[in-house]
Structure 1
Amino acid sequence: METSTFYVSLSMQDAAAAIDNEIIRGSVSGTLTDRFVVNHPDGKHCLLSVYEKHFVRAGNRLTLTVTLDNFFGYTRVHTTGSGGGGMLRIDFGAASSFTQSVVRILSPYMIQV
């Protein structure tokens, strides 16, 4: 399992659109399997997206969970990649690559908080 947490200057909607564009539209096997939005009464939001993609080096499909929230006035991004590798759970770096794809997509917008 590979995780990453960082902040971006984009809105949650723009960050989600950038990720969708790369993983779903920019890939043959990438799909969005689920998206869930939690709305807080004070106007803050949390967006949870689960993506799935086939990785040849892992020998099967991997999942990427991306959580976006604006609880602190900035868009926080948390990613977790997992799956692949069969019974031995060896994915040959595919989960890390899947997780790092979000870092690569959003790196021009990263900010220090």
Structure 2
Amino acid sequence: MATSDFNVSISPSAAMNIITDYILNSSISGEIIDSYSIPCNDGKECCFAVIEKYYHRAGNRLTLSIVISDIAGATHVHAVAGGAGQGAFFKFSWYAEEAFSEAAEKALKNYMI
């Protein structure tokens, strides 16, 4: 499991669109498993998505779960990648999980604050 936490200067829905476009356009195996957005009464929102992608070096598909919210103030991005381990106890991912969680940072590098 690998995580990434940072703030950005754009709305949660705009940030989610940039991340999903980045991952889907840079991969032939990436797909959105599910996404959901919760609008709040005060104009704030919370977005959630699960993206799956095949990583050859890990030998299987990984998931990236993303939560983006501006409810507490600044738009905060939390991304966690997992699923690269093989078998019941072997969890070594050849750094595929780290690379997948960093995809959110790479996609939003121009908006990070």
Q: Match of 1:52?
A: 52
Residue-pair matches, total: 111
Q: Structure 1 residue 16: deviation in Å? A: 1.2
User: Which residue number in structure 1 is paired with residue 93 of structure 2?
Assistant: 91
Q: Distance in 2 between matches of 1:56 and 1:82?
A: 15
Question: What is the aligned counterpart of 1:108 among 93, 107, 110?
Answer: 110
Runs of 4+ in 1 over 6 A off after TM superposition: none
Q: Does 1:29 align with 2:12?
A: no
Q: Percent identity?
A: 37
TM-score (norm 1): 0.91
Tell me the equivalent position of 1:64.
Answer: 64
**Equivalent residue letter for 1:85:** G
Q: In the TM superposition, what whole-angstrom CA distance separates every residue of 1:20-70 from its partner, at most 9, and x where no partner exists?
A: 111112210010100022233333211110000000011000000110101
Say which is worse superposed, 54-63 or 18-27, in terms of deviation.
Answer: 18-27
Q: Which amino acid aligns with 1:101?
A: A
Task: State how far apart, in whole Å, the 2-side matches of 1:55 and 1:15 are.
Answer: 24
SS in structure 2 of the partner of residue 86 of structure 1: coil
The normalised TM-score by structure 2 is 0.91
CA distance in 1, matches of 2:32, 2:44: 23
- Segments of 5+ residues of structure 1 without an aligned counterpart are none
For structure 2, the residue ranges without an aligned partner over 5 or more in a row are: none
Residue 102 of structure 2: SS of its match in structure 1? helix
Alpha-carbon distance in structure 2 between the residues aligned to 1:42 and 1:49: 22
Per the alignment, in what secondary structure is the counterpart of residue 84 of structure 1?
coil
